Every structure is written in structure tokens, then in C-alpha cells.
Amino acid sequence: MRIDLTFVLISALSSSVNSDVFTLVSEKMNWTDARSYCRQHHTDLVTLNDRTDMDELLQSLPSGLVSLMWIGLYRTDEYFPWVWVWSDGSKDLFTSWDPSQPNNVDGVQYCVCTSPKGYWSDWWCTDKLPFLCYTKKRDR
Ligand SMILES: *[C@@H]1O[C@H](CO)[C@@H](O)[C@H](O)[C@H]1NC(C)=O
């Protein structure tokens, strides 16, 4: 069974970023299937542009959902230095890596997930995780 939990980021100052609708899909999928799902039903896997985006997203997460979640960040580079890119083509340089990440365990961690604490880890793309999609608004 698929459970979609949609929530809208609410901010006193409405900005174009905050007008995007974020959707947490709790059904676990690998990164490529998650991206396909987001592109089919929403816009793409989520892009996080800055700390405010990250903080507001975390504050919007229903309590009790303690899990790693796919975001739209990934790389195709095999060799260091890796260039991380957003699935939707955004070029923003904001990152929120956990202090010990990215560490490329087994040499195959090409995708990125976030934790409810807001730190990112590179992760095995084949792993099945819940994920975050966003729906773009016209003014973005
Ligand atoms: C994800 O799973 C699909 C099957 O649902 C498979 O075709 C695809 O290769 C998998 N991708 C990764 C990165 O594991």
C-alpha cells in the first residue's frame, strides 16, 4: 500500500522556495525508482537550496518519521573530486553533509539521503528508502 503524506512549507515570509510543495513518500524505493516516481507524480526528487529550505523541511516532517530519505542529489563521477548534481538540474552549491560524509563506502555510494536531523550522507543507490519529492510552483 502506498501512503502519500503531502505537506506544504509554511513561512511568515512567503518566498518562491517556500511555495514549493514537498511530498514525503513513505513507500521505500531505490534512488532511480524514487526519481521516476517523483517525476511522474510531482516535479522531481527534492532540491534543497539553502539552510532555510532544509530547516523548514525538517520542521514540517511529522514526528516519528525517523528514517533516511532520498533527496535529488547524486554524482556520476567515479574518481575524486566528485561533482554532486541535483536531479532537477539546479546548480546551487548549498550542502549539508554529515561531518563524516561523503565517505563512499564500498566505492559505490553515488546517491544522497538526508536524515531527520538534516545532515546528508552518500548512500547505496540500490538501497530502498522513503523519499522526498517536490512540486514546482510557477513563480520559482
Ligand atoms: C531500482 O529498481 C529497479 C526495479 O524496480 C531496477 O530496474 C533498477 O535497476 C534499480 N536501480 C538501482 C540503482 O538499484
CATH number, domain with residue 58: 3.10.100.10
Q: How many domains does the chain have?
A: 1
Region of poorest pLDDT, from 1-5, 66-70, 84-88? 1-5
Residue 133 near residue 45 (C-beta atoms within 8 A):
yes
Residue 134 near residue 43 (C-beta atoms within 8 A):
yes
In sequence order, the 6+-apart residues with CB closer than 8 A to the CB of 49 are: 17, 90, 92, 94
In sequence order, the 6+-apart residues with CB closer than 8 A to the CB of 117 are: 58
Question: Ligand 1: distance of its center to the CA of 33 in Å?
Answer: 6
Q: Which of 103, 85, 105 is nearest to 95 (CA)?
A: 85
Domain that holds residue 132: 4-136
In sequence order, the 6+-apart residues with CB closer than 8 A to the CB of 114 are: 48, 54, 68, 69, 71, 96, 120, 121, 132
- Residue 28: strand, helix, or coil: strand
pLDDT at residue 39 in the model: 97
Question: Ligand 1: distance of its center to the CA of 60 in Å?
Answer: 29
Mind listing the pLDDT tens digit for each residue in 72-127? 999 998 888 899 999 999 887 789 999 999 999 999 999 999 987 788 999 999 99
Question: Ligand 1: distance of its center to the CA of 90 in Å?
Answer: 24
pLDDT at residue 42 in the model: 92
Grid cell at residue 86: 541535483
pLDDT at residue 9 in the model: 43
Given a cut of 90, whether residue 19 has pLDDT beyond it is no
The CA dihedral of 124, 127, 129, 134, to the nearest 10 degrees, is 60
